[in-house]
Every structure is written in structure tokens, then in C-alpha cells.
């Protein structure tokens, strides 16, 4: 077993893997993640403390948010993933999570479980559930939210892709094939109204949007993405023109 307390050894082990999350492992070693996680952390607006709370991180991948919840005082954290941990080798995989957990001497638990199979009997219930960047990857999003709600005792923090539409009523765009981001696992683009409506339908009574671009900003971003798409930089013009992100905090 490598001595991960030695920064040079840890850095060498980190370099063997491809990373999605950017995680500070100490000793000057930071994982070279595709996602600048600290920037996203600011937009997600996690509570400053999880002292005494139990936390479930659905779609944990490399585990950044799981380890952050533990760092902020959670008494129990479960990192849960399925698709990203399914492959024994290659990318994505569970290897980054395992290495980070060992390097951080973390007590975060892991659960290799599909969200569609999530029940209180299998994992228990949690004070806080993190559901970040997962909803639009699911073939059956409302059913998935029912599963999530059943294990959430208090607060859900949800971050998702949304489609900006002219209509205000709840609606959703379907992305066949790899139409969104050249990724065949991206299925749906709910609009903001639909995300709020679905959360209410599955039992959340206090629903607060904490990140949603102002109309002017969203329109300017849409115009730029459309121009870039038509020039061949991004691919499908319609879906990129409609793409945005949303963060919602919901409570029972």
C-alpha cells in the first residue's frame, strides 16, 4: 500500500487517474479535475455547517461534495453512485473516490446504488440530500425525485441542467442521442417551472431557487452559445442555445 502521507507518493498516485472533481488532498496535492469544483461549490451554496447532520450525496463520483460535507461537521456522510462507479477500470470509475478517501483519512461511507433503487430500507434517511448534476441524466426524473424525497428528512439541495423556454408553464425538452453536450446520458431539459412543480409534487413544501440567471444574462449567454454552435465550436445549435443551470434548496 503506497504511503499517501508522503506528498510525492500521493501526487504520483493522483497522476495515474483521470479526475472529474478538483479536490485538495493536502500537502500541496490537488486533483486535476475537469470541473473546477470550488467555483461550483460557491453556486451550490451549501450550508456553512453540517454539524450533527446526516448527509447523502447522490452521484458522488470522485466525492468532493461528500468530503466537503464531512469537513463541515456532518456526523454521517454516505457517498452514493452507480454509473460512474460501475466500471472497474477506465474513466469514469470509483478509483478517484477511493484514493481521495484514503488520502483524506475520511470516514465517508460509500453505497454503489442506482437512484431508482434507493429506499429508506437500503440506506436509511438523511437530514440533507445532495442531488447535484444528476436529474437530467435520468430516464425517469419524476420517479427519481420520489425516490430521493423518500430518504430526505429535511433539506434537498438540487443542481441541474435546465432548458430556458419562452413558455412559463412546466415543460421539458427531450434530448435524443447525444444532442446535449455530445453525451448520450443527457436525457432531459426541464424548465425552471417544472423543477419547482416536481419538487412540490413529491412532497417538498418550501422550495427556494438560489441560482437562476436573470433574463438579460440568460439571453446574452443564449445568443453567444448559438453563434458558437453555428460556427461549429459546440455542435447542436438548438440545445446549446437552450442550455442553462439551476440550483434549488427545498425543505419538507
Task: Please give the pLDDT value at position 168.
Answer: 81
* CA angle, residues 242, 248, 252, in degrees to nearest 5: 140
Max Cα–Cα distance, the chain, nearest Å: 57
| SS3 at position 89 | coil
Per domain, the residue ranges of the chain are 7-251
Task: Please give the pLDDT value at position 224.
Answer: 57
* CA angle, residues 246, 251, 252, in degrees to nearest 5: 140
Name the β-bridge partners of 159: 132, 247
Task: Please give the pLDDT value at position 212.
Answer: 79
Task: Please give the pLDDT value at position 127.
Answer: 98
Considering the four listed CATH numbers 3.40.50.300, 3.40.50.1100, 3.40.50.150, 3.40.50.10420, the one that applies to the domain covering 7-251 is 3.40.50.150
Task: Please give the pLDDT value at position 210.
Answer: 93
Divide the 252 residues of the chain into consecutive groups of 10 and give the mean pLDDT of each group.
90 96 96 89 94 98 98 98 82 94 98 97 98 96 98 98 83 85 84 96 96 59 56 52 83 96
Task: Please give the pLDDT value at position 163.
Answer: 86
Q: How many other CB atoms are found less than 10 A from the CB of residue 131? A: 22
Task: Please give the pLDDT value at position 218.
Answer: 52
Q: How many other CB atoms are found less than 10 A from the CB of residue 81? A: 25
- What does the block give as the cell for 159? 443542481
Amino acid at each position: 500500500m503506497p504511503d499517501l502521507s508522503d506528498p510525492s507518493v500521493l501526487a504520483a498516485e493522483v497522476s495515474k487517474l483521470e479526475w472529474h472533481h478538483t479536490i485538495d488532498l493536502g500537502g500541496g496535492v490537488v486533483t486535476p479535475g475537469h470541473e473546477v469544483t470550488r467555483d461550483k461549490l460557491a453556486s451550490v451554496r451549501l450550508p456553512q455547517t453540517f454539524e450533527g447532520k446526516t448527509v447523502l450525496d447522490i452521484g458522488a463520483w470522485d466525492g468532493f461534495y461528500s468530503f466537503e460535507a464531512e469537513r463541515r461537521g456532518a456526523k454521517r456522510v454516505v457517498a452514493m453512485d452507480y454509473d460512474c462507479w460501475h466500471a472497474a477500470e477506465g474513466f469514469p470509475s470509483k478509483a478517484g473516490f477511493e484514493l481521495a478517501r484514503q488520502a483524506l483519512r475520511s470516514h465517508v461511507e460509500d453505497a454503489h446504488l442506482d437512484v431508482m433503487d434507493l429506499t429508506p430500507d437500503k440506506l436509511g434517511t438523511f437530514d440533507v440530500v445532495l442531488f447535484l448534476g444528476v436529474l437530467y441524466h435520468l430516464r425517469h426524473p419524476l420517479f427519481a425525485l420520489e425516490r430521493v424525497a423518500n430518504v430526505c428528512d429535511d433539506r434537498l439541495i438540487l443542481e441541474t441542467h435546465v432548458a430556458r423556454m419562452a413558455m412559463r408553464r412546466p415543460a421539458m425538452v427531450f434530448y435524443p442521442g447525444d444532442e446535449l453536450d455530445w453525451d448520450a446520458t443527457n436525457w432531459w431539459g426541464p424548465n425552471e417551472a417544472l423543477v419547482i412543480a416536481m419538487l412540490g409534487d413529491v412532497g417538498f413544501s418550501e422550495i427556494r431557487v438560489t441560482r437562476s440567471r436573470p433574463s438579460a444574462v440568460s439571453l446574452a449567454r443564449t445568443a453567444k452559445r448559438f453563434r458558437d454552435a453555428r460556427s461549429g465550436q459546440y455542435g447542436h445549435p438548438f440545445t446549446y442555445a437552450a442550455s442553462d443551470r439551476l440550483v434549488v434548496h427545498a425543505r419538507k
